Each structure stands twice: as C-alpha cells, then as structure tokens.
Amino acid sequence: MRALLAAAAGTDRLSAEDAGTVMRFLTAYLAVTGWRGELTGTPRMQERPIAVLVEALRQAGASIAYTGTEGFPPLRLNGFAPAPADAGPTGLSVRGDISSQYISALLMVGPYLPGGLALTLTGPVGSRPYIEMTAALMARFGLECTTNADATRLAVPAGRYRAADYSVESDWSAASYWYALVALAPAGSEITLPGLRQESLQGDQAIAGIMTHFGVETAYLADGSGVQLRQGPRPAASGPLRFDFTDCPDLAQTVAVVAAALALPVDMTGLESLRIKETDRIAALQTELAKFGGDLRETEEGVFRAVSANFRVANQAVATYHDHRMAMAFAPLALRGPLTVASPQVVRKSYPQFWNELAGAGFVVSEAG
C-alpha cells in the first residue's frame, strides 16, 4: 500500500499483487482522486469479486471499466466527476454481508465527495468491528462518521483529514498464531506479546476469549504495554464448542487447526466470506487438515465442525494456496512434530518476520530442499 501510494503520481499501471485490502482501499482512493490508469493484481486477485465497490463508486461519479472479466480486476480508472456540493450527500446503498473492506473503503473516501456520503447497509451486517474501527480512526484524524441506532445508515461529512500523532496498535490477527502456539505447547507455557491493548478497536481481539476454551489465559500488563499468555487447564466441555466468526473471519483457520490438533470438536459459523479470500479457505482447510487426521465438515447449512481422529504430525507438507493465513495457522503444529510449509514467503503480506520470530522463540526453521 505504501509503495503504491508513493508510485501513483508517476505511473498509469499499479498492481496490488495478492493483497485484497490494498485492492479495495486503493480502488476507492484512486477513483475519487481522479487517477487514470489500470489497477491490477495477481491471477488469484483477478478471481476475487469487486463489483459491489465498483458499482458504488460509479454511482458516486467515478469512471471505472473492467479490462478482463466483468466484476473482477483488472480495472481501468478514467477520472472522477461527482455531483456538486449543493446536491447534498451522495447516497449509496450496499449489502452489509459483503466484505467490510468495501464499506471501509467507501467511508474513508466519503469526505472527498463534494456533499459528503450517506451510506446505507442492507441486510445483515458482517465484520462490524472493522467498520467501527474505520469510523474511530477517521474521527482520530478529524472527520466524524455518524450512524443511526442499528448502525445501518452511516453519514460522513465533506471535508479533509488533518494530521495527528497516532501510535499503531499491534495486530490481534497476528497474535492469534501465538495463542495457537501456547494452546499446543507443554503445560504451563507462557509468552508475552507487546503492543496489544485491552481497549482495542480490532475485532480479532476475540481470540482472547475464544482461546480460554483451549486453556489459554490472557493477562493484560498493568502498564498497557501488551499481554501475557499462559497455558492453564482446559475447561471441561459437555459437547462441541461453538463460535461465530462473522465479526472475525480471519481467526477461523487458527481455531480450526487448534481444535483438530487438540481433538476438541468445534462448530464454526459465520464463515461465508472465507470462500472469497486469498483462496477458498474452507476447501483449503478441508484438504490440509485431512493430511493430519483432521476434518472440517459441514454438519448443517452454514455450520462447519472441526474434528479429528488420530491427529498426527509427521513430516506432512502443507500447501498454502497463496494464503498467508494458511501458512501461519498450520505452523504451530511444529510443536507436535516436523512439517513442511510450502511457499513460506506468503507471510510477507501481513507478518514478514513470522518465520524469524518463530526461530527466535526456539523453533528450528530451515528452507526445505
């Protein structure tokens, strides 16, 4: 994102590679700033839908065309002609159960519409914490996003952001892999993770509550500098655990792998968006868990149960499907035995130092072949 923002002024072709957030946010930013050129990505990015966002931006005055398959990148951006300010806020309506990245992208560029933005979300709203995080950060930089009681109508005034000092919190999504490591580690294992806040804007902080069911206790450090994780006793469960990942879909792979490794059945809901991530994450989990004796089976519509029988780690090779989270979700299984992770460089997308930090924690990490 940083490199593309810097390059946009001097080129008419940009590639978001395989970063969905970059593609969605950059599409909105380039559209309302009048950039002209082609925005593309990897072959997998060209299979990920973007029509909902493009249609909303077109209604706001952006000229955007598809240069390949209708509804998917690459995109040709040809300028921006919004309605005048005296026409009032630009009214847009999008489904609430789509990727929150579309919604965040529209909110962030809302101030650059001459009359501001009036955004209506229809149907059930997924990944709501990400929308709330976007609004909170916009306010931190000078622009308030207001909403109605059930958060289905959001209003953003016209204006410009103002510079402000801000300390970026550590990433709870990345922290989830260390939670998994503690859950699978020997009894009493502990680790301290810096930079995580108890009063967090991130929906993936839900991992702290989820992992209590796997025996991982979270203690927030008194000075607010981070958390200490400790493996304690696992609470007794009378039946399958059940978690809804509607607001935290990026945690699903981590939890599925830990559940299978510990032979603790977990019913998982809210996984709809996993089909359109870097890969079809449900299918990828099903394929890779099977190599170890695990399974992710749909027991009823929209409900997937992570289970295992004779789960065993013994030099299996995990395919990662161009997906950083597949690599990091399966890596903690190294506590149970050796394994190989294909295309380890995929972690550069969100956690480029992941393998180095595993090595620093005592794991033997080497390049295969």
Domains of the chain: 2-156 (3.65.10.10), 172-360 (3.65.10.10)
pLDDT value at position 141? 97
Which residues have C-beta within 8 Å of that of residue 176, sequence separation ≥ 6? Answer: 204, 207, 250, 251, 254
Rounded alpha-carbon distances, angstroms, from residue 83 to 198, 280, 292:
42, 39, 57
**Active-site residue list:** 250
What is the chain's alpha carbon radius of gyration, rounded to the nearest angstrom? 22
pLDDT digits (tens, 9 = 90+) for 104-155: 999 999 999 999 999 999 988 877 888 999 999 999 999 999 998 888 999 9
The more confidently predicted of residues 236 and 144 is 144
pLDDT value at position 149? 82
Residue 181 contacts residue 332 (beta carbons within 8 Å): yes
The stretch 42-70 carries a mean pLDDT of 96
217-245 burial by CB neighbour count: b if 16+ within 10 A, else e? bbeeeeeeebbebebeeeeeeeebbebeb
The stretch 156-182 carries a mean pLDDT of 96
Q: How far is CA 222 from the centre of its chain?
A: 29
N-to-C CA span, the chain: 33
At residue 131, what is the residue type?
I
The answer to whether the pTM exceeds 0.85 is no
Sign of the torsion formed by the C-alpha atoms of 324, 330, 332 and 337: negative
- Pick from 261, 263, 258, 298: which is nearest to 282 by CA? 298
